[in-house]
Each structure stands twice: as structure tokens, then as C-alpha cells.
Amino acid sequence: MRRTRKLFLAVLLAVALAGASMYACSPRGSAAAFRWNREAFARAAAEALAAGSGENVERPAGVKRIAVGPDPTGRQNCVEFEMGGAGMGPSTSYWGVTFSLGGPVGLDMVALDYAPDGDGWLWEESSGDNWSRVVSLGENWYFYEMHF
């Protein structure tokens, strides 16, 4: 009986950890990671902007890559925190967080022709199924999700 209980608890723990890992690697989990660790993102953004690159900047939890590039106005730089991707071929998704003084930007800091949509902005390809959605996370902070 005791051995069965230990096995049950081990399986339960493994399932819980797998679920937490899957959530952390999802778009919704990535937005939550930003909210939980906003100070680390702000610190990394400041360091990346000062250096002109995110290569040697310590990445906040959940961030796979930090990049610096021009914002939509072309007058200032913004920072992209790439947080995940899934799929292959014609059904690929990417998501992350951007810091931009020039307004909402998505994947690779591209400002598509976004239209207001609920609590954010949406771009949809006119002759295909590609789309991108951006949601504000606070002043100058945005969460993006891009589907190809």
C-alpha cells in the first residue's frame, strides 16, 4: 500500500510538472511570465538598448533570444524578447514580448498594418491565412503572437 501511494504521488508530480512546463512554453504562459517578472524584462531591455544588441544580456526566465532593432517610427530602437514557437511548415506560430516607444510591433519588430481589435491589434493577410495579434502589457510593452 505504501509503495502504491509513493508511485501515485510520483506520477502526480510528474504530470503537474509537465503541465506547468507546457503552460510556461505557451503564448498565455509567456505573457504571464512577463507579468511575474517585469523588472527583469525592464532591466534586460535597458541593457540591450544601451549595448545596441541583446547578445550579452542576461535573459529573463522563459526568453529564448533578445534582439534590438528600429521601432515603427524608425527614430528609436525597440527590444524583442522571443519566447516561443511551435509547429512546422504552413502552421507555425511564434510569440514573445516587445518594448517599443513607437507603438505595437510583432515578430522581428515589424509594425504590420495592425487594426484595433478588442484589447489589442490584429493584422490578417488578405490573400492567405497568416495573422498577427498584439496586446498591450502596459506602457510601451506588448505581447505578440504570429501565425504563418
pLDDT digits (tens, 9 = 90+) for 14-27: 333 333 333 344 66
Average per-residue pLDDT for the chain: 82
Question: What pLDDT score was predicted for residue 75?
Answer: 74
- Are 90 and 77 contacting, i.e. CB atoms less than 8 angstroms apart? no
Percent of all residues in the chain with a pLDDT value above 70, rounded to a whole number: 84
Question: What pLDDT score was predicted for residue 6?
Answer: 61
Compute CA distances 111 → 37, 72, 145, whole Å: 25, 6, 13
How far apart are the C-alpha atoms of 65 and 55, rounded to whole Å? 8
Q: Comparing 135 with 90, which gets the higher pLDDT?
A: 135
pTM for the full predicted model: 0.78
Compute CA distances 71 → 49, 52, 65, 108, whole Å: 12, 13, 18, 10
